[in-house]
């Protein structure tokens, strides 16, 4: 028997405005991008995590001459948040870039970061918002939707 299924991702676009209540989280992500260490790609990325205890934890990409040793802004922020407050639930993650030739489109997380985001949602049993910032920004209310069929250990 065959059963065809379809995946759907809902998101909202914001042009020249931000979703209400996300101004400070967006500012924190954009500010974090200023602290990126990205001499190789020159693609500065900042991320900011909002926790249920009210804390905002930021991260920026950290590159290294031995390329795989670096880490994306999203994972720097999520791991720092989990290290500082292991019991705090993630409510939202904002991602911004400050590349010299940044496109207007919102910056999007790589596959490895999506995997970490999916497990973060699974770990706390609650999905969280993802705000992808750009001249046009996108708000997703389910982080796990960014990685269908995420890897899980059996």
Query: What residue ranges bind Zn ion (CB under 5 A)?
Result: 72, 110, 113
Measuring CA to CA, how many Å separate 115 from each of 33, 40, 78, 141? 22, 24, 12, 16
Residue 55 a catalytic site member: no
Q: Which residue is nearest to Zn ion (CB)?
A: 72
Nearer to Zn ion, 38 or 113 (CB): 113
Q: Please give the structure tokens belonging to residue 123.
A: 């770990």
Candidates 30, 62, 70, 34; CA nearest to 47 is 30
| Closest to Zn ion by CB, 18 or 71 | 71
Please, what is the minimum distance in Å from the beta carbon of residue 17 to Zn ion?
Answer: 26
Which structure tokens are listed for 153? 């250990």
Choice between 49 and 72, CB closer to Zn ion: 72
Rounded to a whole number of angstroms, the minimum distance from the CB of residue 10 to Zn ion is 22
């Amino acid at each position: 028997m065959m059963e065809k299924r379809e995946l759907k991702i809902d998101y909202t676009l914001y042009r020249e405005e931000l979703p209400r209540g996300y101004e400070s989280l967006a500012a924190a992500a954009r500010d974090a991008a200023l602290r990126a260490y990205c001499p190789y790609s020159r693609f500065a990325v900042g991320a900011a995590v909002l926790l249920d205890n009210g804390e905002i934890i930021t991260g920026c990409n950290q590159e290294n001459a031995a390329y795989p040793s670096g880490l994306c802004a999203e994972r720097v922020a999520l791991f720092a948040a989990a290290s500082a407050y292991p019991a705090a639930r993630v409510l939202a993650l904002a991602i911004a870039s400050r590349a010299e030739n940044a496109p207007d489109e919102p910056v999007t997380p790589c596959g490895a970061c999506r995997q970490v985001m999916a497990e973060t949602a699974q770990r706390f049993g609650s999905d969280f918002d993802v705000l992808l910032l750009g001249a046009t920004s996108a708000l997703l209310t389910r982080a796990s939707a960014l990685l269908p069929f995420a890897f899980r250990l059996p």
